[in-house]
């Protein structure tokens, strides 16, 4: 076997993207991101994942990086199975909105980089390593995050004017305000827009959510995501019987727990959240489990700096999503004329040419690998710490 795909260099970057975004659970003014660069003699692959807590995950990444030296990129995710078993665990609260503590998000970043690297060696697209590419044009679904109701309405109207056909609305967990959000935005957009809502698990009881359930039905909301707090299965089952829209689970759909969500009848749609898969292998297992159970598959949220959302766009091309892809990249909120509630200190991408959303559609980039190029100038601008190892 040739040594051409033997890993010679690994660099990890702790990056910080200044931004302001509000959820029912918290408001963030910056996102800490792990970017990983894995190289052989002739090629380089890139990976990325959000770090909800820097200290344990950055230390874990530093522990893992030397173990990649000398391995073959073609081994892909089998390299992750050779890691130590003493991975640092965070609490559910520490993970916040973004990932589940059972998921090794560092492994997800490494998995993306390995697939990108190996695909470049083979001269194929990232998606070609995952399976058969079923579609190259994928509907996108921007998200309207929390803010003053008037501004939420304006942002929804701006996206609609750009030709977007699917939109997600964040809820806050206070029934009176959530009813207003749903009613007023549906009124502003009219009946044609496909709407999804996400409460990020804000509701604790079925009685507290009852006015919202009625409003969701009246407004013809197509998909209801994480209305109840994680683990609150009784409420999920009751609400699922009452809702005319379909129930989507997000944070609880990590591997292998997704199998329980399917068998327990908790879900109509599986949402594959970047930061919540652990590896591309796990992402494919989740998509297959959903397909086998006759449940729709979706991809939600976004990577922060462009690498991760491009990888998940490739995943979307292979799984042939039956729902639009929410992973449109944060740059889309910055580049378009939309008066977005998400505000950024600088353009939120380290890609020279991130994938645009045009009239609501994302087009899969051509290979090799992810089909995108890293701007080292942009990477340097957001990097606060670097660690490198070489053969």
- Give the separation between CA 240 and CA 247, rounded to whole angstroms: 6
Average pLDDT over residues 340-346: 95
Residues 6+ apart with CB under 8 A from 174: none
Assess whether 91 and 133 both reside in one domain. Answer: no
Average pLDDT over residues 70-94: 94
Q: Are 33 and 15 in contact (CB under 8 A)?
A: yes
Assess whether 159 and 141 both reside in one domain. Answer: yes
Average pLDDT over residues 65-85: 96
Assess whether 178 and 314 both reside in one domain. Answer: yes
Assess whether 116 and 135 both reside in one domain. Answer: no
Domain boundaries, position 104: 9-124+376-390
CATH at residue 46: 3.30.390.10
- Give the separation between CA 274 and CA 301, rounded to whole angstroms: 7
Helix/strand/coil (H/E/C) assignment for every residue in 259-283: HHHHHCCCCCEEEECCCCCCCHHHH
Assess whether 174 and 99 both reside in one domain. Answer: no
**pLDDT digit string, tens, across residues 3-42:** 789 999 999 999 999 999 988 878 889 999 999 999 999 9
Tokens found for residue 88: 């640092």
Assess whether 340 and 262 both reside in one domain. Answer: yes
Tokens found for residue 98: 């973004």
Tokens found for residue 376: 């080292």
Tokens found for residue 297: 């598959």
Assess whether 146 and 227 both reside in one domain. Answer: yes
369 assigned to some structural domain? no
Point out the least confidently predicted range of 234-248, 315-329, 365-379: 315-329
CATH at residue 355: 3.20.20.120
Assess whether 115 and 189 both reside in one domain. Answer: no
- Give the separation between CA 323 and CA 314, rounded to whole angstroms: 15
Assess whether 31 and 174 both reside in one domain. Answer: no
- Give the separation between CA 385 and CA 107, rounded to whole angstroms: 19
- Give the separation between CA 17 and CA 110, rounded to whole angstroms: 20
What pLDDT score was predicted for residue 1? 42
Q: Is 334's pLDDT higher than 60? A: yes
Confidence band for 322, pLDDT divided at 50, 70 and 90: confident
What is the enclosing helix (H) or strand (E) of 47?
Answer: strand 44-50
What pLDDT score was predicted for residue 2? 55
Q: Are 290 and 356 in contact (CB under 8 A)?
A: no
> Which residue would you say has higher pLDDT here, 323 or 65?
65
Average pLDDT over residues 354-378: 96
Q: Are 194 and 166 in contact (CB under 8 A)?
A: yes
The edge-to-edge listing of strands for the beta sheet with 296-299 is: 143-144, 166-170, 194-198, 223-225, 246-249, 269-272, 296-299
- Give the separation between CA 146 and CA 21, rounded to whole angstroms: 8
Average pLDDT over residues 317-324: 89
Q: Are 104 and 278 in contact (CB under 8 A)?
A: yes
Average pLDDT over residues 328-353: 96
309 assigned to some structural domain? yes
Task: Let me know the angle formed at the C-alpha of 364 by 362 and 366, rounded to the nearest 5 degrees.
Answer: 145
Torsion of CA 159, 165, 166, 171, to 10 degrees: 50
């Amino acid at each position: 076997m040739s040594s051409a795909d033997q890993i010679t260099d690994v660099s990890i970057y702790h990056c910080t993207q200044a931004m302001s975004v509000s959820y029912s659970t918290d408001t963030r003014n910056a996102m800490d991101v792990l970017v990983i660069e894995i190289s052989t003699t002739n090629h380089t692959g890139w990976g990325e994942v959000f770090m909800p807590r820097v200290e344990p995950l950055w230390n874990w990444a530093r522990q893992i990086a030397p173990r990649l030296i000398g391995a073959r990129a073609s081994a892909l995710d089998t390299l992750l199975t050779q890691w130590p078993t003493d991975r640092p665990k965070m609490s559910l609260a520490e993970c916040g909105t973004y990932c589940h503590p059972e998921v090794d998000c560092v492994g997800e970043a490494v998995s993306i980089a390995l697939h990108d690297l190996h695909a470049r060696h083979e001269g194929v697209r990232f998606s070609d390593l995952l399976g058969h590419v079923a579609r190259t044009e994928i509907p996108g679904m921007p998200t309207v995050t929390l803010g003053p109701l008037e501004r939420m309405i304006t942002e929804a109207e701006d996206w609609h004017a750009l030709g977007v056909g699917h939109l997600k609305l964040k809820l806050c967990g206070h029934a009176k305000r959530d009813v207003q959000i749903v009613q007023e935005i549906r009124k502003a957009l009219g009946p044609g827009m496909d709407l999804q809502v996400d409460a990020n698990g804000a509701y604790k009881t079925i009685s507290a959510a009852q006015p919202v359930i009625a409003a969701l039905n009246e407004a013809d909301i197509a998909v209801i995501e994480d209305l109840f707090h994680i683990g609150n299965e009784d409420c999920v089952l009751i609400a699922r019987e009452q809702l005319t829209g379909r129930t989507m689970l997000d944070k609880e759909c990590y591997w292998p727990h997704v199998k329980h969500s399917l068998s327990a009848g908790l879900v109509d749609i599986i949402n594959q959240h970047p930061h919540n898969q652990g590896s591309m292998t796990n992402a494919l297992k989740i998509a297959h489990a959903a397909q086998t159970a006759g449940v729709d598959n979706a991809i939600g949220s976004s990577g922060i700096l462009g690498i991760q959302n491009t990888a998940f766009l490739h995943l979307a091309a292979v799984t042939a999503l039956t729902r639009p892809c929410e992973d449109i990249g944060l740059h889309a909120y910055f580049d378009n004329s939309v008066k977005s509630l998400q505000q950024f200190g600088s353009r939120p991408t380290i890609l020279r040419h991130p994938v645009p959303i045009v009239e609501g559609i994302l087009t899969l980039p051509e290979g090799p690998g992810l089909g995108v190029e890293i701007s080292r100038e942009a990477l340097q601008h957001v990097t606060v710490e670097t660690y490198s190892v070489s053969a």
